Chain A
Amino acid sequence: MRQLPPALAPNGYSPARHSPLSPAPVSDQGQRLTDIAAIQRLFANGENGGYWPADSAYLYEDSAGTLPASFNGVVGARFDVSKGLVLGAELITNGTFDSDTWWVKSGTTIANGVATFVSAGSSIYIYKTNILTAGRIYRVLVSIPRSASGGLIISDYATAPYAETGMAGTGDFVRQILATTAYVMLQRNSAVNGGVCDFDVDNVSFKEILGNHAIQSTTANKPYLRRTPVSNKYWLDSNTSTVALTATFASSLGSACTIARVGAEGVTIAENQTVGTTYNLCPYNASQLVRYRGDTLIINRALTLVEKALVTRHFKRGVPMISNGAIL
């Protein structure tokens, strides 16, 4: 057979395949994104549920969804993309400190369009309650236009500051938290400069990342992210009895739900399923040799034949090769 020089090769031809004149596999990334958009439209009439791809782009190591999950690492957050991962409404009424209102203060002042933290005392903060919903993920923006010393951290008021939310120096900061209480609280970071602080805060914003994201904040109970060695399919490994990655819904989904999943055996679509206010996307099943947990979709209604075809076609992309008893 004739080997084409690369400069003359037609589109789709790959010399690396060592199979002259045979086309390389055509990427279906465009069709894949089109299918995801079509799946999001299944929820266009306010249907409840979610779609959680087993795609590394939507999997995170920590429950706040800030550290991308790594191959053979743990998964603490799996984003629901059914709402398009858009941000919700602004939750802070007086984030620009135009007046000394709304916030509850301790050891701080609000004047001249900023909140000022100046003290070496023990209780230096501003807060407001009944703002957040525990178990939801929020994107936080904070500006520190002036900083002479110390640092700021986001807290839940009740237990401890949210890890990895410390801010020091001047600048605009973006943070993400998994809310554990209803409180919005900004406090002096006692771990910076011995707690001595002198800085201003402005432009505070809290917005929810919309969706019923699946969360696990206890590392011992997180599944692992795996990838098949040949077909390069990402999947979650529920390899111990305590594993759970749980999506929480605002209300029970009822008894008419459709649940579609990808497993090692292929795509399954179960109808007339009952789902309460929570659903574990990565259950442990002792009878399964390999706990292959791929894409999952839950919607609180029946799907039409065309919709099932869409989901099946899209989900088949996550089905692995199986050869000689091994998942490849």
Chain B
Amino acid sequence: MWTERIPCAYPIALINEANALAAIIDPDTGGAATFTLDSVRGGYVYAEIPFKTHFLPIVQGRDSAAWQAAIAQLAAEKGMEPLSPETIELLRSSLKIGDEIES
């Protein structure tokens, strides 16, 4: 089950970290190309992302412990380098999602 597209945005300066996160949480192999400089709004890189319905509450909840645990688990499952706890915390606190994004 999938959600409809959910707008997500990160400060341009965090594009590499944001794509590293997307590479881990994307169920497919191409998450590293989620955010590009072709899609920028008000200093933020922007993407409209379909989420698995069970995963969206974790992203929207922005609970620090839940993010740390979920991202570490997904990285291990995909055999990918995990993000540092500091990077995960930075991405968690920097995310704009849904109506938080200025049009």
Binding site for B on A (CB under 8 A): 61-64, 70, 72-74, 76, 153, 160-163, 178, 180, 189-191, 216-222, 224, 239-242
Contacts and interface: CB of A to CB of B under 8 A. Distances in A.
Chain B contact residues: helix, strand, loop or mixed: loop
A242 B39 contact: yes
Interface string B25-54: 011111101101011000000011110000
B28 A240 contact: no
Given A73-B2, A220-B48, A190 B79 contact: yes
B1 interface: yes
Contacts of A162: 29
Contacts of A180: 29
B48 A191 contact: no
Contacts of B77: 163, 191
Interface residues of B, number: 25
B5 interface: yes
Contacts of B78: 160-161, 163
Chain A contact residues: helix, strand, loop or mixed: loop
With most chain B CB atoms within 10 A of its CB, the pick from A74, A219, A241 is A219
7 A-B pairs closest in CB distance = A217-B30, A218-B30, A161-B79, A73-B2, A220-B47, A220-B49, A240-B48
Contacts of A216: 30
B58 interface: no
B26 A222 contact: no
Contacts of B76: 191
A306 to B, nearest CB: 41
A63 B30 contact: yes
B79 A219 contact: no
29 contacts: A61-B27, A62-B27, A63-B29, A70-B2, A73-B1, A73-B2, A153-B79, A161-B79, A163-B29, A178-B29, A191-B76, A191-B77, A216-B30, A217-B29, A217-B30, A218-B26, A218-B28, A218-B33, A219-B31, A219-B34, A220-B48, A222-B50, A224-B4, A239-B5, A240-B48, A241-B39, A242-B38, A242-B39, A242-B48
B34 A220 contact: yes
A216 B26 CA distance: 12
B2 to A, nearest CB: 5
Contacts of A240: 5, 48
B80 interface: yes
